[in-house]
Amino acid sequence: MRKYNVAIVGATGAVGQELLKVLAERDFPVGELLLLASARSEGKKIAWQGREYIVREAVPKAFAGVDLVLFAGGSISQTLAPEAVKRGAVCIDNSSTFRYDPAVPLVVPEVNPEDVRWHRGIIANPNCSTIQMVVALKPLYDAFGIKRVVVATYQAVSGAGKEGLAELEQQIKQLAAGEPTSPETFPYQIACNVIPHIDIFLDNDYTKEEMKMTWETQKMLHDENILLSATAVRVPVFRSHAEAVHIETERPVTAAAAREVLSHAPGVVIQDDPQQKLYPMPLYSSDTDEVYVGRIRKDIAVENGLSLFVVADQIRKGAATNAVQIAQLLAAEDLIRPVE
């Protein structure tokens, strides 16, 4: 089996660490591994697969001889990804930098794997909230058509990185001790609270996080006619995003028919027995790669309506796992090679 020289940019962060974990779990054929980060992390040591690696600064010349670059996130990919491509590498980017570029594929392997075939050196990983939603939407879209989606997200603090995790943990301790909290990562105290604000507000009063779900869903399903309205909410959960998804289909749909379709969908786990109190929760999905779907029911407010509750680990399926799945897809189709 061919092996690939792999670089991870942002290797010291939460997603970078998860990328290393998933590469090992999925036995991706790594030849040489290069761990890159900002200058302040240069020299740090990270153990992987029984070997110790020294973190180097992420600069263009570092990509010489690299076949595949996994960007953990952040704006650095805007300058470094093109440099890596110039040196013959294929890049999978977790940031939002290239997602809306018509020349760059935006891919979830369970949804639109065919789009990797037209990459020109860069493939974008979608937003975490969009990924788990479209894994559940795609089989329903194929079976019944989709006209409109209304979604409310319940997003874990780890979506804001290590700082988000640390802030929730600190505030829980402060509240338990009767001490005041001092929000820094989030605009308000997150412990014992929910905040209907993720990312910046745009001119239409939706946040950028909310509009990402519209733009990305239309791009991956290749259907600009799908209407989608999102409300993104930060909740005091450490890991795994949840979403209440309400769908208006083009053709009549029943809960039983939707459940049958979803039961055969790749990457989906059905947890749907409300009488036994079985439904998706972050408690089940954290540290897993699947998208959990439950509370499948007829939407009584819309004629062709369906309601779902969707939960997934946003660090894994929403970021690291999806990126490695893209890499596996590229390797299987021999698409990790210099752009001609």
Q: Report the C-alpha gap between 286 and 282 in whole angstroms.
A: 6
Q: Report the C-alpha gap between 64 and 89 in whole angstroms.
A: 8
Edge-first strand listing for the sheet containing 305-312: 227-234, 146-155, 241-249, 305-312, 291-298, 268-270
Q: Report the C-alpha gap between 164 and 56 in whole angstroms.
A: 25
The helix or strand, by DSSP H or E, that contains position 54, with its residue range, turns out to be strand 51-54
Q: Report the C-alpha gap between 228 and 148 in whole angstroms.
A: 6
State yes or no: is 246 an active-site residue. no
State yes or no: is 128 an active-site residue. yes
DSSP string, 238-272: SS-EEEEEEEEESS---HHHHHHHHHTSTTEEE--
Cα R_g (the chain), whole angstroms? 20
8 A C-beta contact, residue 81 and residue 68? no
140 contact partners, CB below 8 Å, separation of at least 6: 146, 247, 249, 253, 258, 261, 262, 306
Q: Which of 222, 241, 246, 264 is catalytic?
A: 241
Q: Which of 91, 119, 128, 197 is catalytic?
A: 128
Three-state DSSP class for residue 107? coil
At 265, the amino acid letter reads A
- Residues forming the active site: 128, 241
